[in-house]
Amino acid sequence: MGFLEDFQASVEALPAMLHRNYSLMRELDKSLQGVQTENEQRCQQEIEDIKHGLESGRITYDPAKLKFSDEAIEEQKHCVRIADEKVALASQTYDLVDAHIQQLDQFMRKLEDLRQEKEAATTAAATAATSTPVAATVVPSAGTSTADITPKSGRSGERGRGGRKKTAKVPTEQPAPAIDLELPVDPNEPTYCLCNQVSYGEMVACDNSDCKIEWFHFGCVGLREQPKGKWYCPSCIGFQKKRKGK
């Protein structure tokens, strides 16, 4: 099964890829903290220099000129770039895990399809075995030879000693009894579904609280997976439509 091998190889490689992404995120965190610390110290120093300049009269108060240096602004932009890299790396990690979850869902659906196909083949084989007639076998009775059972061709009119005809003794074949291949069912076990059989395999419940049957086999109602939201059986869905139409 090629899909299984590919999925297994992809899952085995996932921990290493996640470890790499998390390591990069930790390194980005350390780098960001270092740049932020330097920027805070630079800005604090520049603020102190501006205050001293204003107090000493070296700097004229002009809001348009009172700003941080280009180095401080560049450090702030660098912090933003590092934060953007962290966000992109986190998104990549999320998409990586989400892709593996979708592959796992697809693999589970394929397994369910294979299980249903195998179950259908087993059911068909059991049905064919039940409906196939069993050939009757003639068992010679005590004191009767095979020659007595099967008359020889062209010698039925042959006379033996004493002038009497020899007649072949062919016993009457009795019909073979029918073979019951069905497993015994507990008469006290409750039955469900449209087929009126016992519970087996995957089943779905009708959301009509007054449903007389309540539980149904997936195959009997044409389902391959658990339905989403409310589900009504073929008998109750018409009743629900009538209620909505009133």
Binding site, annotated residues: 193, 195, 206, 211, 217, 220, 233, 236
Dump strand ranges (E) for the chain: 203-205, 215-217
DSSP letter (8 states) at residue 227: P
Q: What is the CA radius of gyration of the chain?
A: 43
3-state secondary structure of 185: coil
Task: For residue 206, give the nearest of 198, 197, 217 by alpha carbon.
Answer: 217
3-state secondary structure of 222: coil
3-state secondary structure of 231: coil
DSSP letter (8 states) at residue 140: P
Angle between helices 70-131 and 2-56 (to 10 degrees): 160
The annotated binding site for Zn(2+) is made up of 193, 195, 206, 211, 217, 220, 233, 236
